Amino acid sequence: MRILSVPLLCLLMAPLAMALEFSPQDIMRQWDRHSFEGETRYELVDLDGRTAIHAVCDQASASGLFYREDIDLRETPVMEWRWRVDNTFDDIDETTRAGDDYPARIYVVDEHRVLRWRTRALNYVWSSTQEAGSDWENAYASQARMVASRGPEHAGDGWQIERRHIRDDFERLHGRSPERINAIAIMTDCDDTGQTAEAWYGGIRFLPED
């Protein structure tokens, strides 16, 4: 009988990091609604043979769907999601408060409930003006950084799949590498521009590092 060495045996017995997945149905049924201004409409639809969340913003609203539980970035630091935008906003400046609207965004929060000034957030947005890969400070809160995962050049191209290493992005943009995040949200907002926005969101997954 072959005898395994102790280090190899420990490696084989070590638990594998499990992906954390949120389907569109999970997001709609289990995540909390939060309004900053009015109500963006979110509903489950079938699109291209898959279930998706359809978001419509046409009443100068800003509201989203929030998940407020810890997610361990030591085990699953990579976030992957699917989304679709057919049209972006016209003639806006997203670096100003008057233009701080996005047809689709997903943001993650490293929250400090006691020392709130230490809270930091990343907003992955479908930008109307910036090229994919751009980043800038949020016009309302310097603790949040905006990251253009997609730009206007991708609107109308159908479903897009994104993958970001959350810990690496926090390190690059905030100078910290959190062990966990405390909240995640999706939001389609149009309260600052008063224009109309529409987007579709698929599932969101947190994955182990490759």
pLDDT score, position 118 = 77
10 within some domain: no
Full residue range of the structural domain in which residue 114 is found? 19-207
pLDDT score, position 47 = 94
What's the number of domains the chain is made of? 1
1 within some domain: no
116 within some domain: yes
78 within some domain: yes
Token digits for 146? 């905006």
pLDDT score, position 111 = 83
| 3-state helix, strand and coil shares in percent for the chain, rounded to the nearest 5 | 15, 45, 40
pLDDT score, position 117 = 61
Token digits for 103? 């047809």
Scanning 42-149, the segments in alpha helix (DSSP H) are none
Q: Which residues of the chain have pLDDT under 50?
A: 1-15
Asked if 200 and 81 touch (Cβ cutoff 8 Å), the reply is no
Q: Does the pTM of the predicted model rise above 0.75?
A: yes
9 within some domain: no
94 within some domain: yes
pLDDT tens digits, 93-148: 999 999 999 999 999 999 876 556 679 999 999 999 999 999 999 999 999 999 99
117 within some domain: yes
* Residue 90 CB contacts under 8 Å (≥ 6 apart), including other chains: 128, 195
| Domain CATH code at residue 100 | 2.60.120.430
12 within some domain: no
